[in-house]
Amino acid sequence: MDEVPFRLESGQAWDLADRFGTPLYVLDEATIRSRARAYRESFKSAAPGSILSYASKANSTLAVIEILHQEGFTIDVASEGELEAALRAGVPAAECHLHGNAKSNALLDRALEEGIGKIVVDSLTEAQRLADRKSKFKNTKLLLRLNPSVQPETHEKISTGHEDTKFGLSILEGSAEQALKLMIRAGLPIVGLHGHVGSQLLDPEAQVDAAIRMAEFGTAMAEKIGFAFQILNLGGGLGVAYAGDPQPLSIAEYCRQLVGAVRARVPDSIQLQQEPGRSLVADAGVTIYRVETIKEVSGVPFVSVDGGLSDNPRPALYGANYRTDWFRASNYAYVTDGPGAVSFDLDGVRTAEVYGAHCEVDHLFSNVEMPVAAAEGDLLVALSTGAYNASMASNYNRFARPATVLLRPDGPVLVQDRENWDTIFARERRIGPTG
């Protein structure tokens, strides 16, 4: 079954825009919880005793972390800032997993002091630093991140499992075995292996290939050097259908295929783990923009909105495109086709290019269908923006990062304030006159 993205109705969009301003991130709590439960039930049904962690880099807003922890997910963090977010969201450190290819001594010290549940070791240097800190371990366990030499079908900038990547240690070149030997000799609690091949995957083929290579390596190391192989973490990566993308496998089918293929080669004694992120939150979010200008360029409508690169850098980084809904100020809506479509403009539509307000090309969305009667002041709503928008936002051109509103059963709740001039300039100081 296709996963249908959350959409706003016209009245909702206008009410939220008027109350909270634009650009505005909107998250639907019911959709997040529904996706979380579907993933949890599907993965645990296919792999009893398995563990799911939320990859908080997708959206580390405290409310999102809190919801997913309530739904039974541990939290995967990739920096001290994401660890701090998880702790402030009420997640015990013991239920967090720490990633990162460049962990500092200070970060390792803090993670061990907090009693973090797992650290995913990413280099020989890190393995040695942890060996030097053996006395600081409480109940923290270690996983070794492997480079499985698998190239998935995804954008090159979110492909992380091929041989020439900064992440993990190579099975082929022997650095993975070196790290295991170092940690075992030091008496560190190294209990499993981790691999993540990339993001926005539409099927599990690359993950299956990686899992097989990791499992074979783990089994060989158990026999050769006494590695206590207990956990195989398959990473995350299940994608969503952005504009122009084919529909990915459903969560249930994805989990069935992935676990079925892995379990054929991995004994039941090995606990399987996964770290979904985008697939839980992307389709639960939208971004509301206000149309500021519409101009004709070589016969094509160029639409400029009041946000862009600073609140959604993915089009510039990855060439990402998004489905959009257009809401007229006259309370009459045009909604693009696709899952969840509800109506069309009977007066006709035109194809437009949508641009942001920044001093760059800032080309946001291509081939957007807009009503012929579109006007400045209308609302344009980008779908599936719940992942990697808020977490990658910036203050480029001194734009304020948007507020985030969570739609709850009893109404919308502001869970992240819009920045203001005081917060934007809080870190800066004037130097005053010379002399």
Distance CA(344)–CA(295), nearest Å, equals 23
CB atoms within 10 A of CB 91: 24
* Alpha-carbon radius of gyration of the chain: 23
DSSP letter for 188, please. Answer: -
Q: Which among 327, 344, 334, 332 has a CA at the least distance from the CA of 378?
A: 327
Contact call for residues 371 and 325 (beta carbons, < 8 A):
no
DSSP letter for 162, please. Answer: S
User: Which pair of tokens denotes residue 256?
Assistant: 């069935």
Dihedral, CA of residue 194, residue 199, residue 200 and residue 201, to nearest 10: -40
Catalytic residue among 297, 359, 426, 431: 359
CB atoms within 10 A of CB 27: 28
- H-only helix segments in 23-70: 29-46, 62-70
Distance CA(256)–CA(249), nearest Å, equals 10
Contact call for residues 323 and 274 (beta carbons, < 8 A):
no
Contact call for residues 347 and 372 (beta carbons, < 8 A):
yes
Exposed/middle/buried for 75, CB within 10 Å: 0-12, 13-18, 19+? Answer: buried
255 as an active site residue: the answer is no
- For 208-227, b where at least 16 C-beta lie within 10 A, e where not — what string? bbbbbbbbebbbebeeeeeb
Contact call for residues 222 and 168 (beta carbons, < 8 A):
no
Distance CA(302)–CA(54), nearest Å, equals 38
Residue where the block lists tokens 């998250």: 27
Q: Which amino acid would we find at residue 134?
A: K
Element (H, E) at 253: helix 251-263
Contact call for residues 33 and 386 (beta carbons, < 8 A):
no
Whether omega for the bond prior to residue 92 falls within 30 degrees of 0, making it cis, is no
3-state secondary structure 84-107: HHHHHCCCCHHHEEECCCCCCHHH
Residues noted as catalytic: 359
